[in-house]
Amino acid sequence: MEHAQAATAAAEPTSRYTTINGLRLHYLDWGGDSSRHTIVLVHGGTAHAHWWDAVAPLLLPYGRVVAFDFRGHGRSEWPRPAAYGPQAHISDLREFIARHLQAPVVLVGHSMGGELSLRIVVRHPELIEGFVSIDAPAGGPPLLTRLKWRWKRRRQGGPRPEFASAEELIRRFRLSPPGHNLTGEQIAELALKGAEQLPNGRWAFRFDPEARAWPHRRRDWGRVSLRKISRPTLIIRGRHSALMTPAAARRMHRRTPGARFVEIHDAHHHVPLDNPQATAAAIGEFIEGLERGAR
């Protein structure tokens, strides 16, 4: 491993880097006791590791906590020529767990991160101690949502947009899908954590527009069956989510062997942002169940 495990939990996360598949990829490390568990938090599309800032510290009693930035997201490197898509992200995350962390993990994925994580849980169960899927409908979001995204992707790519000031960048920042419970101050903080000031004095988001422009066709994901999940699983849905319908949540719960299901109140699709306390409590209870089952 590139870094020794922290003996005690850090009050604030430390930015760390590792080289995977030829790219310098970033993760946040809150420390914690890895001899108990290693918890890997995985963000959704166009997001970044700081999506977990309010959840991660609450999980420190259960072990080491890290949050991963996918290629082209957050502080991770942008591949050139552009190389994105599900299989590239899955390969990066698998290698991060297998070669860098070198221990079975509790894998927690939100939205796109949940669907990517699902492939690792099914294909590489030896890397997984437990799996938490947060508002990540297996098979993707509803058809209408996918069609809207496909239309938007036709206008994506190209140069990264730049803004004259941090204030202008914050005004342009939007969560997708749009529903959330965050205050204006929280939105501004989240936007700035995913942004940087450029040498020319202008501001830009730390996100490669080419990552959004990638086709993400369903066939690129590869077929996966929920019935093949062999690790303990928790499925979480935001009660007001427009992305994961109640029917999709019930179907996923029914088809996943032995899965638990929790609906987080007062939360839209961005569950870790909307209700971090309830999200962390659900994950913590799940981990406690893993410990009881191991005795």
Antiparallel, parallel or unpaired: β 23-29 and 64-68: antiparallel
CATH H-level superfamily of 14-155+225-294: Alpha/Beta hydrolase fold, catalytic domain (3.40.50.1820)
List the helix and strand counts (H, then E) for the chain. 10, 10
Sketch the domain layout of the chain as residue ranges.
14-155+225-294
The 3-state DSSP class for residue 27 equals: strand
List of residues 6+ apart from 290 with CB closer than 8 A: 37, 106, 129, 130, 232
* pLDDT for the residue 150: 55
What CA–CA distance (Å, rounded) separates 149 from 54? 28
Q: What is the largest CA-CA distance in the chain?
A: 58
- Both structure tokens of 231: 């690790």
pTM for this predicted structure: 0.92
* pLDDT digits (tens), the chain, 295 positions: 333 333 344 569 999 999 999 999 999 999 999 999 999 999 999 999 999 999 999 999 999 999 999 999 999 999 999 999 999 999 999 999 999 999 999 999 999 999 999 999 999 999 999 999 999 998 765 555 555 545 555 555 678 999 999 999 999 999 988 999 999 999 999 999 999 999 999 999 999 999 987 755 666 677 789 999 999 999 999 999 989 999 999 999 999 999 999 999 999 999 999 999 999 999 999 999 999 987 5
pLDDT for 5 equals 36
**What pLDDT sits at residue 293?**
87
